[in-house]
């Protein structure tokens, strides 16, 4: 395990880890170029909002790759994985915050409240994404990021991934049933999972009438709110686990 250089000392090592450092100017330029291209294509090419968002992300991707490569060179693979996960999950959480704001503050319909990357709001994308997050969390634990918050994070990530796996299986089942009926124009997106309104806990004979159904939101929240809180909790635990781990490494190496 490599020693952390002086650039990661201090009380907030996570902020220093996420800082682009010598790629700051390139990151700002790529962000400006991406935003300009996104706005232009949105206004004059008539593309959808998610296409403009994707343009920004693609333009910024090369700088991100260079930054993560430098993280690996300076701090090792495990710290680089933490940096990648913080960045990607941070962006993912922002997407859920945007969806929440669209629904609760702008009063858009549930169908309209699909964030900035609506094309990514598909069951298979959620399924693949959450399995990817789980694998990276396992790799972080394997690489030495072990503390109280990490183990809670691992448990929450397993539970979150299990729910998305359940929803993906239900999605495939409903699609098969629709095809058997000759219906091919319905996507079967947005099905309930284990938690929330019409979820497994709300419908199961094993849980109906139990204390679980009396917990606020557990069997009544809509899907958008359920997954907003999943990601807020997961991101908060990731920040806590990463902060404690890096601070502990600093104390050991100092």
pLDDT for residue 252: 63
Q: Would you place residue 254 in the very low, low, confident or very high pLDDT band (cuts 50, 70, 90)?
A: low
pLDDT for residue 4: 52
pLDDT for residue 66: 97
Residue-wise pLDDT for 63-121, tens only, equals 999 999 999 999 999 999 999 999 999 999 999 999 999 999 999 998 889 889 877 78
Question: What is the distance of C-alpha 178 from the center of its chain?
Answer: 30
Q: Which long-range contacts (CB under 8 A, 24 or more apart) does 168-173 make?
A: 168/123, 168/124, 168/126, 168/127, 171/123, 171/124
Task: Locate all alpha helices (DSSP H) within the chain, ordered by sequence.
Answer: 13-18, 24-44, 49-75, 77-104, 123-142, 148-180, 200-203, 223-253
pTM: 0.90
Burial zone of 190 (CB within 10 Å; 0-12 exposed, 13-18 middle, 19+ buried): middle
Identify the CA nearest to 140 among candidates 127, 150, 149. Answer: 150
- Mean of per-residue pLDDT scores for the chain: 90
CA-angle at 105, arms to 213 and 240, nearest 5°: 65
Measure Cα distances from 137 to 82, 122, 145, 159, 234 in Å: 8, 23, 9, 13, 11
Identify the CA nearest to 197 among candidates 154, 227, 238, 157. Answer: 227
Task: Scan for tokens 């849980």, then name that residue.
Answer: 207
pLDDT for residue 6: 45
Residue-wise pLDDT for 133-149, tens only, equals 999 999 999 999 999 99
Residue-wise pLDDT for 151-190, tens only, equals 999 999 999 999 999 999 999 999 888 888 887 777 767 7
Question: Dihedral sign, CA of 126, 229, 133, 202?
Answer: negative
pLDDT for residue 253: 58
């Amino acid at each position: 395990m490599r020693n952390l250089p002086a650039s990661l000392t201090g009380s907030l090592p996570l902020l220093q880890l996420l800082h682009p450092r010598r790629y700051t100017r390139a990151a700002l330029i790529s962000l400006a170029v991406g935003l300009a291209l996104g706005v232009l294509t949105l206004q004059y090419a008539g593309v959808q909002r998610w296409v403009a968002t994707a343009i920004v992300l693609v333009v910024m991707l090369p700088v991100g790759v260079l930054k993560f490569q430098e993280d690996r060179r300076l701090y090792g693979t495990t710290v680089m994985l933490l940096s990648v996960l913080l960045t990607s999950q941070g962006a993912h959480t922002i997407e859920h915050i945007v969806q929440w704001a669209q629904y609760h503050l702008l009063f858009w319909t549930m169908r309209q409240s699909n964030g900035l990357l609506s094309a990514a709001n598909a069951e298979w994308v959620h399924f693949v994404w959450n399995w990817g997050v789980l694998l990276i969390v396992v790799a972080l634990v394997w690489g030495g990021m072990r503390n109280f918050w990490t183990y809670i994070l691992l448990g929450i990530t397993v539970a979150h991934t299990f729910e998305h796996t359940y929803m993906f299986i239900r999605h495939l089942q409903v699609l098969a049933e629709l095809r058997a009926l000759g219906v091919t124009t319905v996507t079967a997106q947005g099905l309930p999972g284990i938690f929330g309104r019409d979820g497994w806990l709300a419908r199961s004979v094993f849980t109906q009438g139990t204390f679980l159904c009396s917990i606020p939101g557990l069997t009544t929240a809509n899907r958008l709110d359920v997954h907003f809180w999943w990601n807020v909790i997961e991101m908060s635990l990731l920040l806590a686990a990463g902060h404690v781990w890096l601070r502990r490494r600093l104390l050991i190496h100092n």
